[in-house]
Amino acid sequence: KFQVPEDVLIDILSRLSVKSLLRFKCVKKSWRNFIEDPVFIAMHLNYYGKSSVGFLLYGSRPYKYIKQYLNCSSIDVSMSIKILFGKSPGYMIGSTNGLVCLSNDLYFFLKEDKWLSIYICNPSTREILELPECHHAHNDFVLSIGFGFCPKFNDYKVVVVKLLDSVVNVRDPNCCLFSLGVEVYSLNRNSWRSTKIVNPRSVLTTSFQGKGYFNGAFHWGGRDLKSSKRMIMSFQFDEEVFRELNLPNHPDFQKENYFLNALIIEYQNFFSLIIKQKVNMHVYDLWVMKEYGVSDSWIKQLTIEVPILEDRLMFQPMMSFENNGELLVLRDWYGRIVWYNTKTKQIERSKEVLRGRSIRYKESLVSLSTKKVV
The CA dihedral of 12, 268, 91, 374, to the nearest 10 degrees, is 0
Spell out the domain ranges in the chain: 53-362
Write out pLDDT tens, residues 301-317.
888 877 665 444 455 55
Q: Could you tell me which of 121, 129, 131, 76 has the C-alpha nearest to residue 94? A: 121
The answer to whether the CB of 350 falls within 8 A of the CB of 336 is yes
Query: Please, what sign has the CA dihedral across residues 144, 254, 240, 226?
Result: negative
End-to-end Cα separation, the chain, in angstroms: 41
* pLDDT for position 189: 92
Could you give the C-alpha distances from 10 to 2, 15, 26, 51, 146, in angstroms and in order?
16, 9, 16, 17, 34
Q: Check whether 357 has a pLDDT greater than 60.
A: yes
pTM more than 0.75: yes
Write out pLDDT tens, residues 139-166.
778 888 999 999 999 999 999 998 876 5
> How many other C-beta atoms can be found within 10 angstroms of the C-beta atom of residue 20?
10
Spatial neighbors of 98 by CB under 8 A, at least 6 apart, are 18, 45, 49, 122, 124, 361, 362, 363, 364, 365, 366
* pLDDT for position 282: 74
The CATH code belonging to domain 53-362 is 2.120.10.80
- Per the model's pLDDT, the better-predicted residue between 108 and 212 turns out to be 212
pLDDT bracket for residue 89 (50, 70, 90): low
Write out pLDDT tens, residues 28-64.
888 888 889 888 998 998 888 666 667 776 665 544 5
Cis peptide, bond prior to residue 62, ω within 30 of zero: yes
16-30, 276-290, 323-337, 347-361, range with greatest mean pLDDT: 16-30
Tell me what the mean pLDDT of segment 355-372 comes to: 72
Write out the chain in H/E/C secondary structure: CCCCCHHHHHHHHCCCCHHHHHHHCCCCHHHHHHHCCHHHHHHHHHHHHHHCCEEEEEECCCCCEEEEEECCEEEEEEEECHHHHCCCCCEEEEEECCEEEEECCCCCECCCCCCCCEEEEECCCCEEEECCCCCCCCCCEEEEEEEEEEHHHCEEEEEEEEECCCEECCCCCCCEECEEEEEEEECCCCEEEEEEEECCCEEEEEECEECCEECCEEEEEEEECCCCCEEEEEEECCCCEEEEECCCCCHHHCCCCHHHHEEEEEECCEEEEEEECCCCCCEEEEEEECCCCCHHHEEEEEEEECCCCCCCCCEEEEECCCCCCCEEEEEECCCEEEEEECCCCCEEEEEEECCEEEEEECCCCCCCCCCCEC
* pLDDT for position 268: 80
Per the prediction, the chain carries an average pLDDT of: 77
pLDDT bracket for residue 14 (50, 70, 90): confident
Q: What amino acid is encoded at 288 in this protein?
A: V
Tell me what the mean pLDDT of segment 79-84 comes to: 61
Instruction: Enumerate the β-bridge partners of residue 245.
Output: 232
